[in-house]
A = this chain, B = another copy of it.
């Protein structure tokens, strides 16, 4: 226990913050040492300050922790996980990085900064080189890395091996997104019973932008976005957890569904062999049943960190169509940011940790 790295969770009372606390409660490398929340809640017990909404019981050690302000001196940890609302994350995360903290963020604010990587270790671990640029340019001893948007995660993980094997020209994606993606309280039950919503605020723009950055090439200290056209239509459906994405993909070089399945199945990612505790093996599970993936049955594959793919078929418009699914608050949020932090540790990028 004493050997574990003390970490902070900032924005700890929201749904993603809770997921961080839950996943970290059994983490072999990290130990939650500080929880931070907005000014109004500072000083409250964690158990009093938030209704637990992510399943199971609030981990016992967290219950009595007193909420602190999101400042480096108050947190006293070399590593912080950020689940802050986008509206306030900007300056707070920067201040922590300036003060030497490694910030693994799940917030959108800094994702498109040229010197901040959006990181999926299996996909673009090499983008960590941006941290050096970031530190030099901003004079930080800490750093910021971001996890992708929850829908971008499965899309990008599927595209990586296809880019490598066949090249990808364009992608049309339609999402069926889970309720937990909207946080808590999130969507009113009257809107989601016997209904779907064909709109997720801000989501289509993120989905048309983030995968291109993550799949881009690092050229001279900056990421050149991948030349892939992406069109997204995003829907909210009455599913608690697990985003489903329907993809139609135009490839540079023709491939059969079998070749596509094989490329996905054999994908191991850039971090295979590093022994990162949260990295699923394999990262992509390919299923052959005609009615999979399903949120209820597949969201927990690889402890919620694997992407499940099925229904790989020839596409009469593009080259191939398929359906992918990932747990949106594990792989697509807190779990993804934890995996990012594991990579930071493995690369020796966290101050005072070797």
Residues on A facing B (Cβ under 8 Å): 53, 55-56, 170-172, 174, 176, 179-180, 184-199, 204, 208, 229-231, 233, 235, 237-240, 244, 246, 248, 250, 290-297, 300, 310-311, 313, 315-318, 321, 323
Contact = CB atoms under 8 A, between A and B. Distances in A.
Contacts of A296: 55, 194-195
A238 B237 contact: yes
Copy number in this complex?
Answer: 4
A96 to B, nearest CB: 30
Contacts of A192: 189, 193
A190 B317 contact: no
A198 B323 CA distance: 7
Contacts of A229: 316-317
A239 B194 contact: yes
Contacts of A189: 179, 186-189, 191-193, 238
A167 to B, nearest CB: 16
Contacts of A184: 188, 190
A187 B179 CA distance: 13
A334 to B, nearest CB: 16
Nearest to A187: B189
Contacts of A180: 190
Given A184-B188, A189-B189, A294 B231 contact: no
A238 B238 contact: yes
A238 B197 contact: no
29 contacts: A53-B190, A55-B296, A56-B300, A170-B316, A170-B317, A171-B317, A172-B172, A172-B248, A179-B190, A184-B188, A184-B190, A186-B188, A186-B189, A189-B189, A190-B240, A193-B194, A193-B238, A193-B239, A194-B239, A194-B240, A195-B239, A198-B291, A198-B293, A199-B290, A230-B316, A231-B321, A233-B321, A235-B244, A237-B237
